[in-house]
Structures are given as C-alpha cells and as structure tokens.
Amino acid sequence: MANKFIDAFASDETYAALISLIESTRRQSVSAKESGAYPFVFPQGSTYIQPVVFQTACQYRLGLPITAMGDTSGVKCNCKGHKSIDKHGYHFDSCKIGEEIHSRHNEIVRNVQALCIQAGIKTIREPRGCFAVSTDQQLRPDLRLSRPGALVGIRNCQQDIVVDIRITDPLCSSNISTDSIKRSEQDKYRTYQQHS
C-alpha cells in the first residue's frame, strides 16, 4: 500500500500525517454511493459469503486490522518491491503476484453478465470487432450487451452497449490523495472515444 512512502519517512509527525491521509481516503471511499450495499444483500447461491470472508470484509471496510492475517510484523511480500505486509491487508489490493487482481475483476464481470442474462439481455463476453473504425484488434471490452434499450433505462435505443469494468483501489499508494475512481473512469472514456 503506502509502505514505500511510510518507509521513506523518519519523523513521527510525517508518518501520522500519512496515516491520516490514508484514513481520510478510506473514509471517502466507503462513503461513496452504494459502497456499503453488500452487507444488506440476502446471501444465496453464488452470493453466499463464508463467515471469515464477511468478517474480513467488515474489518477492511472499517479500517481495522485483519485478524485472519495474524501477526504481519516484519513480513515482506515476494513481489518486485518486496513490500511490507501491513496488518490491514492493503498491499494485496494492488500486488501483482498471483491472480487475485484478475480473479476479482473476472468475478465481477461474471456477476454483471449473469444479471444481464436474468434481465433478458443477450451478452457476449470479451467480444472482438466492436469498433469498426478501430485498428486496435486488442481493444476488447468485458461485455457487449445486445440492444438492451429500455431494460437499462435508455428508451428507443437500438444500439449495443459495451461494458468494460475496472477495479480501482483508492488506498493504493499511487492513488492516495487523488480521485482515483474519477481518474479511472476518465481513462476508460478516453480509451473508447479514440476507437469509436
């Protein structure tokens, strides 16, 4: 998380200021619209959460140390920067080792696709050739919704809609003190405007 910044600072005042910045960023993130909806979802089937996972999610949301991780003092990750593992688990949100980042993204894509199918919207996962004017064959959105129209609140819409999901960690060290969610959204708009 912000360990590279924390390690660089020697004074207690600077460290305290950084922790306050992290905490204010966390609070801003968890106060966003719909950010707290998951505790109120009735668990069933694929939405069932194991008790330890729910406990961890609540601790993470509240900014508390993750008890399931145990004592992490002195523990370093095997990633490129050998970052310290913090007691809040923030490092794991942006660590490139393992498939956690990709599996989290893919699970959200699968859930959005399942919801669309339940609503009667035909979907195609990672479609190719969505943009006729684009020469970039690698540009593939996560989903293509075939003429969802009124089902997604767009009247008389006979066009397909592309969905490209990005998970943004506001507590990642590169995102602290910026509006990372707005920046991510603008990046996606820019990418697709260039090709449409």
Residue 26 amino acid letter: R
- Residue 196: the pLDDT is 61
pLDDT digits (tens, 9 = 90+) for 55-113: 888 888 888 888 888 888 888 888 887 777 888 887 777 777 877 778 888 888 998 89
Nearest to 21 by CA among 29, 32, 11: 29
Q: Which of 6-10, 49-53, 65-69 has the lowest mean pLDDT?
A: 6-10
Q: Say yes or no to pLDDT of 182 above 80.
A: no
Is residue 130 located within the same domain as residue 146? yes
- Which of the four pLDDT bands, split at 50, 70 and 90, describes residue 15? low
15: domain range? 3-94+169-193
pLDDT at 25 over 60: yes
Same domain, 43 and 133: no
pLDDT at 4 over 50: no
Residues 124 and 88 in one domain: no
Q: Which amino acid is at 113?
A: Q
CB 180 within 8 A of CB 169: yes
Q: Are residues 59 and 136 located together in one domain of the fold?
A: no
Whether residues 82 and 135 share a domain: the answer is no
Looking at the fold, whether 48 and 88 belong to one and the same domain comes out as yes
Say which DSSP state 67 is in: G
Nearest-angstrom CA–CA distance, 116 and 3: 40
pTM for this structure?
Answer: 0.64
∠ Cα 10 80 84 (to 5°): 40
**Contact status, residue 94 vs residue 169, Cβ threshold 8 Å:** yes
Work out how many domains the chain is built from and give that number.
2
Question: How much helix, strand and coil, in percent to the nearest 5, is found in the chain?
Answer: 45, 5, 50
Is 11 found in the same domain as 81? yes
